[in-house]
Amino acid sequence: MKLVIVGSGYVGLVTGACFSEFGYKTICVDKDQDRINQLNSGVCPFYEPGMEDLLKKHLKNTKLLSFSTSLSESIHKADIVFITVGTPSRRLEDDADLKYVWAVAEEISHNIKKYCLVVTKSTVPVGTSNEIKRIIEKTVPKENFDVVSNPEFLREGSAINDFMRPDRVVIGTDNKKSENIMRELYRPLYLRETPIFVTSIESSEIIKYASNSFLATKISFINEVSDLCEVVGANVQDVSDAMGIDQRIGPKFLNAGPGYGGSCFPKDVKAFISTAKKFDTNLSIINAVHESNKKRVIKIVDKIEKNTKKNSSLTMLGLSFKPNTDDIRESTSIKIANLLNEKGYQIKCYDPEAMENVKNEKYNFHFYNTAIEACRDTNAIIIGTEWNEFRALNLIDIGKIVNEKIIFDLRNIYNKDEVIKIGYKYYGTGK
């Protein structure tokens, strides 16, 4: 099977590299010539564990993977073409901006010459795949194409593993022929007994938004419970551990923290609410989640302000929106650091992978090459992102170079009693 993937961003590249690993000849297309040049030289434009190895392997050794700026030159070789372009929030609006999706659908419609399956992998509101079908139908005979929805559930930082060992593969289709092609495509996963869930196109599109919104709900739920725990002297980690043992609840995504960030949850939660509004339906719970998450950063900044000296130096450890990625989109660490800076604090910071991306954004932060250097002469350390290397910091040695021994452990990576024992004032989340 020959595949073309349109949009060589995060989802497109992980999908392309992993399908090459399955043994399929795959062309990843993108309009950005610099990005394609970079990829052709084997360099991945973002940090994702394992990606560069996979890229080099299939670009140079197996030659199953290639990159191009031309959809028209690539598509005639394709049995399946995936749409993996971005669907960002529209400026000043909450709904998803589909301009890249429509542009790709148009371009596909002018280039299909033989039967080709068009797969929507971008996160798109319900109704989009059918609209793509209508666009293509204008120029391509019905028997020469089908459109299916096949949302992705990859997490940044563990995307390759998520692709190779997914909990499920969702296929939204209205006909047997496309279902069979998709089943054949994902056949390598049958060996791992991955459930292939076939449903209607509309259900498939909603599954993606409902899944992300539900996970965001779990996070906001435990975050609000953690506020109560703090006030009454309970420990939210015990609460979530015990809740999670109940199989109906499950332990994942119950870690209290500074709120969810990243390129997906904030955008998808907003877009889901907006889609429901269009259809005169009120997703009041998801709306509350969105509001709760927005307030979270302010609440944390208040807490830090109340417990530190005005205009002093603070150290933010971790800038990416979560560990194992250099992605800083909607990063709560950066929002918190920036708000504190606006209130007069000096911000020292360090992140293992995301520093260059933050430097490009021109924040008024001071950057250091190691966590320890960032802590020198600080008045409080804030753990913003739970990178593994912060778990192993020698807090005794660090205690000798700071101005004040105060820790805001927003991600609950330390044992409160142990940190207090070595002389720190400790502020965790919900404990």
> Residue 154, interface with ligand UGA (CB under 6 A)?
yes
Six-digit token string for 70: 């031309």
> Binding mask 283-322 vs ligand UGA (x if CB under 6 A, - otherwise)?
--------------------------------------xx
Q: DSSP code of 73? A: H
Phi, psi at 15, each rounded to 5°: -60, -45
User: What are 172's strand-pairing partners?
Assistant: 149, 199
Which of 123, 357, 379, 412 is close enough to bind ligand UGA by CB under 6 A?
Answer: 123
Count Cβ atoms within 10 A of the Cβ of residue 80 and give its class: 0-12 exposed, 13-18 middle, 19 or more buried: buried
Of 18, 44, 116, 264, which one is the catalytic site residue? 264
Give yes or no for a contact between 372 and 315, defined as CB atoms under 8 angstroms apart. no
CB of 111 to ligand UGA, least distance (A): 27
> Binding mask 247-276 vs ligand UGA (x if CB under 6 A, - otherwise)?
------xxx-x--xxx-xx-----------
CB of 338 to ligand UGA, least distance (A): 16
HSE, side-chain direction, 13 A CA sphere, residue 398: 24
> Residue 86, interface with ligand UGA (CB under 6 A)?
no
Nearer to ligand UGA, 219 or 374 (CB): 219
User: What are 407's strand-pairing partners?
Assistant: 381, 426
Nearer to ligand UGA, 102 or 253 (CB): 253
CA distance 414 to 5: 43
**229 has catalytic annotation:** no
Question: For ligand UGA, how many residues bind (rule: CB under 6 A)?
Answer: 20
Nearer to ligand UGA, 124 or 140 (CB): 124
The H-or-E segment that residue 107 falls in is helix 99-109
Nearer to ligand UGA, 115 or 197 (CB): 197
Between residue 338 and residue 357, which ones bind ligand UGA under the rule CB under 6 A?
A: none
Which of 21, 30, 95, 156 is close enough to bind ligand UGA by CB under 6 A?
Answer: 156
DSSP letters along 176-217, please?
Answer: HHHHHHHHHHTGGGGGGT--EEEE-HHHHHHHHHHHHHHHHH
Give yes or no for a contact between 388 and 323, defined as CB atoms under 8 angstroms apart. yes
> Residue 428, interface with ligand UGA (CB under 6 A)?
no
Report the helix count and the strand count for the chain, using DSSP H and E. 18, 14
Nearest to 236 by CA among 245, 247, 224: 224
CB under 6 A: which stretch of 57-65, 128-136, 146-154, 402-410 binds ligand UGA?
146-154
> Residue 236, interface with ligand UGA (CB under 6 A)?
no
Residues that bind ligand UGA (CB under 6 A): 123, 152-156, 212, 215, 219, 253-255, 257, 260-262, 264-265, 321-322
Residues noted as catalytic: 264
